[in-house]
Amino acid sequence: MFFPDRIKSINEKDRVLEIGPGADPHPRSDIFLELSLENEDDYVRQFGHERKLQTVKKIVFYDGKKFPFEDKEFDYVICSHVLEHVPDVESFLAEVFRTCKKGYFEYPLITYDYLYNFDVHLNFLKWNGSELFYAKKSESHLDEFRPVQQFFLQTLLKNYDTYFKKIPEFFMEGFEWNKPFKAIHTKDLGKFIVTEKEIPSLETETLTSHGYLTLANAMFRKMMK
């Protein structure tokens, strides 16, 4: 989770569900909902690591369709880095809204998948303040850049992640909601780009293993003048 400070609306007595907690759940969660996976390879493929959730709290498994809970059983839901994986965004959201009164969503933006293109990510997502735009990744031409993305993926796997961690709001998104909202399917990729923020400039750094991007950006700006 990149923006835990954005989770602000959990009350003291709220019953909190966390969907897909991975190995590092939110400390305020009471119950965890996990997708039933057939084998260990599927687990590693979905979560990117072999580390399992260690907890004394209740874990409920489901088949990826109907949540095994009653209507409005939970006061708050945490759903971090799950929406990009689900095959049917609207059906999934309907189950979230049925069982939970309010909550928090977080997911990678299109800019992150443009670089790394994880196979298990099925959707592009973007919140506009009142509606959630989504597109199936398979409807785009992203895979045509697979050879380039494999290079960037290797840099990520080898911990060259300083670039997007300096400006995570341009690669990740997280928001709270307190009432059901509409999900809109679109193929307009422009809907998924962050446009309301200006990318901050970086001061020139001493060239290190993590400073090459700063130098490259400075050279690019000079060339564009």
pLDDT of residue 219: 53
Phi and psi at 218, nearest 5°, equal -65, -40
pLDDT in tens, 93-111: 999 999 999 999 999 999 9
Q: Which of 83, 77, 78, 115 is nearest to 99 (CA)?
A: 77
Residue 209's pLDDT is 47
Q: Which residue has the higher pLDDT, 189 or 37?
A: 189
* CATH level 3 topology of 4-199: Rossmann fold (3.40.50)
- pLDDT (tens digit per residue) in 151-169: 999 999 999 988 788 999 9
Question: Taking residues 75-96, what's their average pLDDT?
Answer: 98
Q: Which two tokens stand for residue 95?
A: 């189950």
Residues 76, 59: Cα–Cα separation, whole Å: 16
Cβ distance 40 to 114 under 8 Å? Answer: no
Dihedral of the alpha carbons of 109, 114, 117, 123, in degrees to the nearest 10: 40
